[in-house]
Structure 1
Amino acid sequence: MSASSNPAFGAAMKRVALVSVLVFVLDQATKFWIVHWMRLDARGAIDVWPPFLNLRMAWNYGINFGLLSGQADMTRWILIAVALGIVLFVLVWMRRDPPGPWGAASAGLLIGGALGNVVDRLLYGAVADFLNMSCCGIDNPYAFNVADIAIFAGAAGLVLFPGAKSGGEKPS
């Protein structure tokens, strides 16, 4: 039986698609609200619940923590290609080794977050980061966004909940 005619594969792909769309929409909606409606790009910062939660506008032209941001235009297109490559890799992985519900949701988190950041790079030339959290005397200078949270959680979930062939959960 091919993966595409396998009911477990179909269920997993539906979950991947649903979670991806939800994450993508939430990510883009929060970025639109923060950048365009609240005008955080012009204001720079809004203290919400200092120091635990603050809004700090940061345009990330590179990867995590601004790494590789020196050649912004070239890096932009390379990072778009890398993100789309990761999405394709995860989809192929799902086809070859369909995960259970948690693995599929994790793949959806990663894909939705990656596509959210791709859209930022296409629209703005950089990723819109705005969430900043500090605690316990540690002043965090970095900002992140909903897509970053989803990518991190998705990657962790794919490690914790691999497909059935990988010794992980049983497909459902």
Structure 2
Amino acid sequence: MRKKLVLSIIIFTILFIIDQVLKYGFTHFNLNIDGPYMSLQLAYNYGVAFSMFSFLAEYLKYIQLSMVIAGFIYLLKNKEVFTEYYLPITLLFAGGLSNILDRFTYGGVVDYLYWHYGFEFAIFNFADIIINCAVAIIIFMQIKQWQAERKEKKNKS
């Protein structure tokens, strides 16, 4: 458990710093670049995914911070969950807390990766990629666990 916690803190710190440095660069220097498929373009998201709930912009930072704190408390009481899912949890916390810090620092989440080839897609950031990777890892782990349980049941019968 201790080894996983230390590794988790290291990964969290590295990813959090990378994301914040990228966002600082886009907010303080003109890093906008137009490309044929993807552009780098500064934008602020005052809502959540695809700007949903932007009418709650002033309160989202507190709502999201409360959710992170609740998740942290849950993990303190259920250490086995952290032990099993420490990597995706670390990714979720790094991306989530970095985006929450944006809300306190810039008033909204700093986005800059704009996909526009074939269809207009949302503008997103490195933290969003981290969060999506965490969700993919959790889904993969759940599928593997389900398959193992199914195989075990089949072997018992």
Deviation at 1:69, TM superposition (A): 0.5
Amino acid at match of 1:156: A
Gaps of at least 5 residues in structure 1 are 1-8
Gaps of at least 5 residues in structure 2 are 149-157
How big is the alpha-carbon RMSD for the aligned residues of Structure 1 and Structure 2?
A: 2.5
Match of 1:46 in 2: 33
Match of 1:96 in 2: 80
CA 1:104–1:36 in 2, change beyond 3 Å: closer, same or farther? Answer: same
Say if 1:80 and 1:121, in contact at 8 Å, map to a contact too: no
TM-score (norm 1): 0.72
Deviation at 1:130, TM superposition (A): 0.9
SS in 2 for 1:71: helix
Identity %: 27
Say if 2:45 and 2:108, in contact at 8 Å, map to a contact too: yes
Match of 2:126 in 1: 146
Q: Which has the higher helix share?
A: 2
Deviation at 1:87, TM superposition (A): 4.7
Q: Any runs of at least 4 consecutive aligned residues in structure 1 with deviations exceeding 4 A, and if so which? A: 166-169
Say if 1:60 and 1:66, in contact at 8 Å, map to a contact too: yes
TM-score (norm 2): 0.78
1:117 aligns with 2:99: yes
Distance in 2 of aligned mates of 1:119 and 1:147? 11
Match of 1:6 in 2: none
Match of 1:23 in 2: 15
